[in-house]
Structure formats: C-alpha cells, structure tokens
Structure 1
C-alpha cells in the first residue's frame, strides 16, 4: 500500500517478516535507524536507541495491543516512522501513536498529510481517541502551554504547535528524571531504606527476575491491572486494563524477546500474604546501558507506610549489585504525582526533561 503525501513523500505500510525472531530486513533496519535519529533529535539523548534486532519483536501485534506501522519515504529514503498502537482493552477505542519525521523534512506539510491518513484509518477501525507523548524544549518555543491539571507547563515548541493545530489538547505533563550513581548514592539509599523498614513493620519485601514465578503471578497481575486505575490520569482516559496470569506470561515473554532483564520488587502484607505494592527496573543486554524504572504502585489501602520508599530503595540497592556498570536510572512521573516525586527527589533523582501527554477525540 502506497499513499502519496506531499512534497514528493509517500506513506507505505511497513511489512514485517513472518516471524518475530527472523533477521531484520534492510527496511526494518532503515525504519529503526530513523526511529532512533528522530528520537535523538527530539530529546537530545541517544540512550533510548535500539538495534533492529530489538525493534523487530516490538512491531508485532499481540492479544493486548494491535500494532500497525507505516514509514514515510522520499527520494528512495526512509524519512519518518508512523506507529499506531491500539489498546485492546475497553472496546479497543483508544490508540497511541506519533509522527516521527526527521527534522530536515519539517515544515513542508508531510507530517500533516501523514496524520490525516492515520486519523482516517483510526476512524475506520472504530477508534474514538488518539494519544501521544512528546518531549518539549525551549528552542523555537513561543510561550508555554499550561497543564489543565494545574501542575506545570511545557514550551509551546514546534511539536506543541503542530499538535494544537490539528486538534490535540494537552492533558498532563510528565517529568523525566535521572538518578546518576555517585559515591554518596549507596549510603543515601541505605539510610532511606532503614527508615522505611522502621515504618513498614507489617510488610516484607519479595523480589524476582522475570519470568514471574507462579507463586506471585496472580498478585502481580492484580497490581499491574491497578496501574490503569490508581495512578494520576488527568483527563487522558487511559483504558482500564484487565490482567490475568496469561497476560503476565505474555508481558514477560515480550521482555524476553527484547533481550531485556527485569527485576520486580514487591511488598507483601505479612498478615494476609497479599502483594500490595511493586516496582520494576529494566535494562537491555548491554551492561553499560541506562536502567529504566518502569511501573511503581502502592495499592490505595496500603498507603501511608512508606512502601514506595521501601520498594524503590530495596530495588535500587539490589540492582546495583547486579548491574554496577549501568551509569544512571531514568524514570517518568506525572507532575501532579507529588507523593512519588517526593520519594524520587529524596533518593536523588533530578529532572532532565518534561513530556506533554496529548489527546485528540475523533469525531
């Protein structure tokens, strides 16, 4: 399928090999290279770059997300990536996507034409809402865009103006923060952990590496399901996710397919045996890569016992023993999530960037 856009550009459906474990085709390698380059242009960082071998398994649909990818071609070269991921929860009415176009091709109507096709495709599929997350910067900004939550603003840069021009509204701001390991980090974590232990006497830490052990799989599934209901969502209206043991196994297999290592640190309520809080740390196969802190949640009925601090410090201390060459840890939090931000700040995380979470309701 080839769709003419403007300025000599075309939009083409990305064809995938029959198997996710196949060798990446030259087209997949070009798509990955443009994805990495566009992300580096947006963020100024390269630590989220992936290889084509890692990217390929991420492109396939599964029972939880239906994935479609197009690429933008001009003059025989790939110049943009257009992924659209449709969440299968909540009647498959919500999708997340982006137009990742190399900067030298901006301002010629290519992104606008590609977005028009994506919206037409989404409406035909019965989608009612498009979501996207973009990092924003001062360069080229004209003022700021305030968050409707009342917490923070983002620069009204080229991307923000593009999204607003095409009917997207800013719903939430996420803070990107990093913890850089230095000679003081371990002692600070140990002190904070000891204090948290003293306040969480009704709980104990349990920890595992994916794949999830059978004894924890149901509790982990419940905690993962609460990530879609118990974290600040502003007016994004993220789909409520249903998790069971099979979905956890698919989740674990997806990480394994990417060659990533995942540590889960959870809090177990001693009296009931309930898993009531968890934290995830992730690294790829390269020992000097950054670490990603992914989901962290304390169930509402167990808050007020410093479980967030307990989990994060326990996880980071054990993680450092296993991955001493990972230089820093990166995490994202809603700017209105003051309890979690306070924990991160005490640990030593510092903000490095801000993302806007944008939504468009399809009519």
Structure 2
C-alpha cells in the first residue's frame, strides 16, 4: 500500500481561537502510540456517533491508519481542529483519481460542543481554495442524521428525506445541494435458530429461479482465479448503482486494484466474505454480495456492495447472493447479531430484497454535491 504524502505541517488560524493542524500519519501500524492520531480517531468516532446515534463505524487508531493512507487511486489528507490543546473536530479531503482528480470527497466534522462558532465555515473556505488550486471541480460528501423536529429536505429524485438539521443547514449555507437520500437498514438475528428455516426457504426459492447459475464464495484475499471477474463487477458497481446526479466518477478495476483493496481491508482488521453468482455456461461472475466484520466476533456485520449485472437481471440473483451470504456468514459468525446496510431510496429492487429478508430501516443519510466555479 502506498504511503500518503503528508502536507507540510503548517497551522491555520480559525475563529474563536481554534486552529487547523495537518495530521501527519505515522509510518507503522502501531499507530495507537501516536497522540495526534489517537485524538483524531477519538473525535472522529464521537462526531459519527453524534451524527448517527450509533457507534457502528468507530475505529481504533490502528484500524483507522490504513483507511487514511493514500493509494494509487486516491490522495488522502486529514487535519485536526484544535481549541487550545483539545481536538474538537476532524477534516478529510480525498481526491479521486478515476476522473483525473476532478472529484474530491470533503468532510468537516465538529463536535456539537464546538459548533456555531464559525469554525466549520472557515475550514470549508480553506478546503475549497485547496480544491480549486488542485483542479477539483466537484466536491462530494455523505452525511448521517438522527430524527429531529426540523422540517425535512427531499432530494430531486423525490425518494426519501432527511431533516433540515444543523448539518443540512450548514451545507445549504455553503452552496451544497442534496442529490440523494440513503436508507440505513438493519437485520437482527434472534437468539435461537428460528430465522434459519425462513432464510433457507428464500434461498431455495431464489436458487430455483436462478437456473443456469451457481453460488461461489470466498474470504479475502481474493483467489487468483476470481480476480478478473470480481474486478469487472466492482467496475460495474460504480456505473450501475443509482447515483442520482452526484456525478461520481466511473471506476476502472483490475486485479491489482482488487489486491490493493483486499490489503486495505485486511490491514484494518476486517474479515470479508464475497458471495457471487457464476453463469455456468460461460463461467462469468454476474452478481455479488459482500459481508464484513471488524474486530471481535460479536461486532456489527456490514453488508457492503451488492450488485447484479444488468444483462443477468430477472433471475433472482440478488436474493440468491444475499441469502446465501447471510446463511454461511451466520454459521461462521453466530455472535454477530446485527447486519447494517445502506441503499439509495430510489433503489427499489434492492430495498425490496432487503425487506423480504427482514431488514428494517433505522436511519437515513444524505448524498451532497457542490460544483466549484
């Protein structure tokens, strides 16, 4: 994995006596000994929990280090917002190379106790100046929200809504537009095995409809014989999944990029299972589902990508790979009793499969864009 090229560590003065400090990443995985990264991880986790009401995405400093490190497809930079010696916010700026650096993900997270002082606005101005200087034309960010009494915002797609809360008001004031709403869904395993017969029955229904296909599975790292097919499906994920008007760049995947992704997952301490559908006549991989677990076996499971290639739809392959994946995953990780997944609200086919399996909505998120003049 490529080591990030850290920005020259200069300090920027912000309102209310706050300062912005580049995060210089340590070179080794024993990053927990680094005070700056420890503080960054702690505040990042607290900001996410304040935004979502959940701690599912919390990372230790050691786990976070691979996620913050640049690779051949991204340039990643981070900062801490300090008030005195205390870290009160974190900042992420990730330039995507798939479209030549024209798109970047820009995240500003400030603890509630430090909000309302103009700090976020000043950081946003710095990031936009940096983006324009580097040729970035579009900024993106994904936000999470807990229910509030605020009025709601509906994206141009017409599907779903999020509250016009502090985060939404901040982005709107900065000229961002809400393009899409994501649903956060959860599947809970009961203490007994009463769910297994129903899940197996759904798998068998999907299997009967998927004539000419078979299920194949592997744990990361991806076996050599699956690299090309998996890479092709990952490429299609960036073009076939609903993206509203976000304009996310098309991703080009090959075997090396899959290996690089696998390395990052494993360095972060994840166990990842891929369940795919193979077209028997051609040997083509044409649908896949990813399940991942970080740390202890009783941690939350994440259902990541699920995709059925357009030319193979209509055979219940989405239900096939999801149910096959959950069945085998639960056998191997019975203490992980919750599965979390994200889907665009307009992605009715995938939401319908999740609802049929037993996923229920627990939260919503926003996909935002800002076009730079």
Q: What is the TM-score when the length of structure 1 is the normalising length?
A: 0.98
Residue number among 114, 117, 121 corresponding to 1:108 in the alignment: 117
Name 1:124's counterpart in structure 2: 133
2:346 to 336, 349, 356: 336
CA displacement 1:234-274 (0-9 Å, x = unmatched) = 00011100000000100000011101000000000001000
Once the two structures are superposed, what CA deviation does each residue of 1:59-82 show, in whole Å capped at 9, x if it has no partner?
110001110001100021111000
Instruction: Give the deviation of 1:46 after TM superposition.
Output: 1.4
Alignment-derived partner of residue 289 in structure 2: 279
Superposed CA deviations along residues 165-187 of structure 1, whole A, max 9, x for unmatched, are 10000000000000000243212
Q: 1:214 aligns with which of 207, 215, 224?
A: 224
Q: How much does 1:325 deviate?
A: 0.3
Task: Provide the C-alpha distance between the structure 1 equivalents of 2:212 and 2:101, rounded to a whole number of angstroms.
Answer: 40
Partner Cα separation in structure 1 for residue 291 and residue 263 of structure 2: 16
Match of 2:105?
96
Q: Which residue number in structure 1 is paired with residue 78 of structure 2?
A: 69
- The 10-residue stretch of structure 1 (5-14 or 150-159) with the greater mean CA deviation from structure 2: 150-159
**Contact 1:176 1:355 (C-alpha < 8 Å) held by counterparts:** yes
Q: Secondary structure in 2 aligned to 1:98?
A: strand
- Contact persistence 1:193–1:314 (CA under 8 A): yes
1:361 and 2:371 equivalent?
yes
> 2:299 corresponds to which residue?
289
Aligned partner of 1:136 in structure 2 is 145
In the aligned structure 2, how far is the partner of 1:24 from the partner of 1:277? 42
Query: Offset of 1:19 from its aligned partner?
Result: 3.5
Give the secondary-structure state (helix, strand or coil) at the position aligned to 1:344.
Answer: helix
Question: Residues 25 and 168 (structure 1 numbering): CA distance in 2 closer, same or farther, change over 3 Å?
Answer: same
**How far is the alpha carbon of 1:47 from its aligned partner?**
2.1
Query: What is the aligned partner in structure 1 of residue 96 from structure 2?
Result: 87
RMSD: 1.0
Alignment correspondent of 1:167 = 175
What SS does structure 1 have at the residue aligned with 2:238?
coil
SS at match of 1:238: coil
For 2:32 and 2:60, how far apart are their aligned partners in 1?
12
Q: Is the 8 A contact 1:180 1:328 kept in 2?
A: yes
1:39 to 37, 42, 48: 48
On the 8 A contact 1:211/1:249 being kept in 2, the answer is yes
Distance 1:151 1:16 in 2: 40
Instruction: Structure 1 unaligned segments of length 5 or more: list them.
Output: none
Write the deviation string for residues 94-115 of structure 1: whole angstroms up to 9, x where unpaired. Answer: 1112111000111110111111
Question: Per the alignment, in what secondary structure is the counterpart of residue 357 of structure 1?
Answer: strand
Please say if 1:320 is aligned against 2:350: no
Structure 2: 5+ residue runs without aligned partners? 1-9
Q: Distance in 1 between matches of 2:293 and 2:146?
A: 27
The TM-score, its normalising length taken from structure 2, stands at 0.95
CA distance in 1, matches of 2:371, 2:272: 35
* Matched residue, 2:157: 149
Alignment partner, residue 227 of structure 1:
237
1:179 alignment counterpart: 187
The corresponding residue for 1:27 is 36
SS of equivalent to 1:152: coil
Distance 1:61 1:24, change over 3 A: farther
The SS at the match of 1:360 is strand
CA deviations on 1:129-188 (whole Å, 9 max, x unpaired) are 1111111233252x1111100112111111111100100000000000000002432122
